Amino acid sequence: MKIKRIFYSQKAAPFLFVLPFLLSFTVFWIYPLFSTVKMSFQSILPGQIEWIGLTNYEKLLKDTTFHTAIRNSLTYMFFSIALLIPFPMFFAVLMDSNLVKAKGLWKGALYLPALTSVVISGTLFRLMFSELPTGQMNVFLSFLGKAPIPWLKEKGFAMCALLTLCCWRWTGVNMLYFLSGLKSIDTTLYESASIDGASAWNKFRYITIPLLRPTTIYVLTISVYAGLSMFLESFMLWAGNSSPKNIGLTIVGYLYKRGIEKNQMGYASAVGLTLLGMALIINVIQLILNGTFKKEEN
Amino acid sequence: MNINKKKLLSTVSTAVFAILSLLVLFPVLAGFLASFRPGRELIRRGLSINLDFSTMSFSNYTYLFSWNADSKKYFMWFKNSMVLTLLSVVLTLIICYFVAYGLTMYNYRLKNVLFFLVIATMMVPFEILMLPLYQEMIDLKLIDTTAGVILPGLCSASTIFFFRQYMVSLPKELLDAGRIDGATEFGICVKIMMPLTKPAFAAMGILCAMGSWNNMLWPMMVYRSSHQFTLPIGLNTLLTPYGNNYDLLIAGSMFAILPVLIVFLCFQNYFIEGMTAGAVKG
């Protein structure tokens, strides 16, 4: 009888439904998060765990390879945001106007890269950015009368390759985000602005940009995370986790190198938590500057 | 605006997208053309659009389907990817649906706290948790098992979020109607509300399937024995510096895109709907 009552109880039901989440949250989120915090204060060797306080973090401060990784990840994040917000926004506005023909076709084509696995796209890009004069990018350069470039061997060029891959994969996706944001803007606003004689630029500046802000903030937030935690793209471009002079090393790449390849879980945990700290700080600052929290208080 | 000027603008805008689409399709097209050439050419020349049809043949594809040792290996990865994708999609959808249902359809004090926890899990990138999770999987003896690959991702916050967004707008009166008819809470959830949520299932199912099909990092850490490998891991093992397997690699890569491409062409709108759900209100 008692068991039967549970099935009809409106008090117990929500908790039964949410139970899988609570389990997964405890086992696969809280627990690993705490254990990585714990491990970051430890030196972990097989069968020999030692508390060493802040030593891992102190070592990180002096670790020049880690600094290279941070610099690479921050540069990548910065440029990926600089490229993947304005351009997709512009394309979305253009796509939303009734000027463009055959919209479905272009949307499908631009979304295509998001369908491919990083293994495949990374391999294709690695071969296109080949240092050989017959690789696609060097073929382009020779059209322009320039000498071939060892793309994946020099710092600035390597970042270009990473960013090209990034833009290739995400321009279409971000455009679709902005398109769905544009769909939620009331069209009568544009009509009344037109009656008042507003120019296309002013409509964009004073209606589209402010009303697209929730979408922009969303894209910005996920781009900060995605940019800082980029790993597989660099893993695939250099066919493994090692690039010459660490030009393609990212923070997560370094975490992987220390944690998985060298089995230094404690040190790698400190790397991971530094990354988490950076991502949270950047996003909180970004959200404060964008006034997101203020709005919620009102 | 006069008509001629508008026509010109329209042509220019369409041309912008045509050029952009060409640029985007370019690498895939180059890969597709290269898949009809001997793999060693990729090592010798890199990848570029090469329209010399005289050197092209179907030999990579006949090799891929020849059912020799390499071909069998490839289709084992293919099968593993299929099984993994199917399992994780079905389980993720069911579990996330229930969780979202519990977070939407009832009023109770902890509801907002629970929802906040769901959102909180999105604030930590997976890459940070992968190391302790890997350790945990070793401790739980789940390393090298499919359960180890699937379990941590089952309660996907974004999927729960999407289901919730969808369910908020469903009429709650239906729940009371069900209760009057004597249905259990679980019965109402499955028999009455689930059919109404079908579009959300479709959108999320497609998105989860694509994610799972292409997922590489976590499966690569969990799976150790080669008979468990999925397509992305398997293709990655072909990337040896000697390039002796590039025939299989290039043809296999192109063939691996095919299932996703077919699903995408059939259900394009679901893709877009599922993906952009978080962006407007989120």
A136 contacts in B (CB within 8 Å)? 26-27, 30, 46-49
Q: Inform me whether the C-beta atom of residue A284 falls under 8 Å from chain B C-beta atoms.
A: no
- Residues A104, B260: C-beta atoms closer than 8 Å: no
Q: Inform me whether the C-beta atom of residue B280 falls under 8 Å from chain A C-beta atoms.
A: yes
B133 contacts in A (CB within 8 Å)? 28, 32
Q: List, for chain A, all residue ranges whose pLDDT scores fall below the cut of 70.
A: 1-3, 293-298
Show Cβ contacts of residue A168 under 8 Å, excluding neighbours closer than 6 positions: A113, A121, A125, B24, B27
pLDDT the model gives residue A297: 45
Please give the share of chain A, as a percent, with pLDDT higher than 70: 97
Please give the single-letter amino acid code of residue A289: L
pLDDT the model gives residue B282: 42
pLDDT the model gives residue A82: 97
pLDDT tens for B204-213 read 998 899 999 9
Q: Inform me whether the C-beta atom of residue B84 falls under 8 Å from chain A C-beta atoms.
A: no
Q: Inform me whether the C-beta atom of residue A269 falls under 8 Å from chain B C-beta atoms.
A: yes
- Against a cut of 0.80, is the pTM above it? yes
- Residues A25, B24: C-beta atoms closer than 8 Å: no
Q: Give Cα separations from A252 to A40, A170, A273, B129, B155 (angstroms).
A: 15, 20, 11, 11, 23
- Residues B272, A111: C-beta atoms closer than 8 Å: yes
- Indicate which of B97, B206, B246, B276 best probes the interface with A, i.e. most A CBs within 10 Å of its own CB: B276
CB < 8 Å & 24+ apart, contacts of B144-150: B144/B222, B144/B223, B144/B224, B144/B225, B144/B228, B145/B222, B146/B83, B146/B84, B146/B87, B146/B228, B148/B222, B149/B84, B149/B88, B149/B218, B149/B219, B149/B222, B149/B223, B150/B84, B150/B87, B150/B88, B150/B91
């090692």: which residue's tokens? A242
Of A33, A36, A110, the CB nearest to B21: A110
Please give the single-letter amino acid code of residue B79: K
- Residues A8, B24: C-beta atoms closer than 8 Å: no
d(CA B131, CA A259): 7
pLDDT the model gives residue B1: 58
pLDDT the model gives residue A298: 39
Average pLDDT of the residues of chain A: 91
| DSSP one-letter string for A152-209 | GGSHHHHHHHHHHHHHHHHHHHHHHHHHHHHHTS-HHHHHHHHHTT--HHHHIIIIIH
Task: Please give the interface size between A and B, counted as residue pairs whose CB atoms are below 8 Å apart.
Answer: 278
Q: How far is A66 from chain B (nearest CA, A)?
A: 16
DSSP state of A244: G
pLDDT the model gives residue A186: 87
ipTM: 0.90
The two three-digit tokens of residue A196, written as one number: 């008042």
pLDDT the model gives residue A2: 65
Where do the structural domains in chain A lie, given as residue ranges? 14-51, 55-289
d(CA B152, CA B84): 14
Q: Inform me whether the C-beta atom of residue A215 falls under 8 Å from chain B C-beta atoms.
A: yes
Position B271 confidence tier, pLDDT thresholds 50, 70, 90: confident
- Residues A130, B21: C-beta atoms closer than 8 Å: no
A16 contacts in B (CB within 8 Å)? 102, 185-186
What number of other Cβ atoms are within 10 A of residue A222's Cβ?
A: 18
**Superfamily of domain covering A55-289:** MetI-like (1.10.3720.10)
A280 contacts in B (CB within 8 Å)? 123
- Residues B185, A125: C-beta atoms closer than 8 Å: no
Please give the single-letter amino acid code of residue B256: A
**DSSP E strands, B75-123:** none
pLDDT tens for B133-174 read 999 999 999 999 999 999 999 999 999 999 998 898 888 888
Q: Can you state the angle between helices A155-183 and A213-228, rounded to 10 degrees?
A: 150
A110 contacts in B (CB within 8 Å)? 17, 20-21, 24
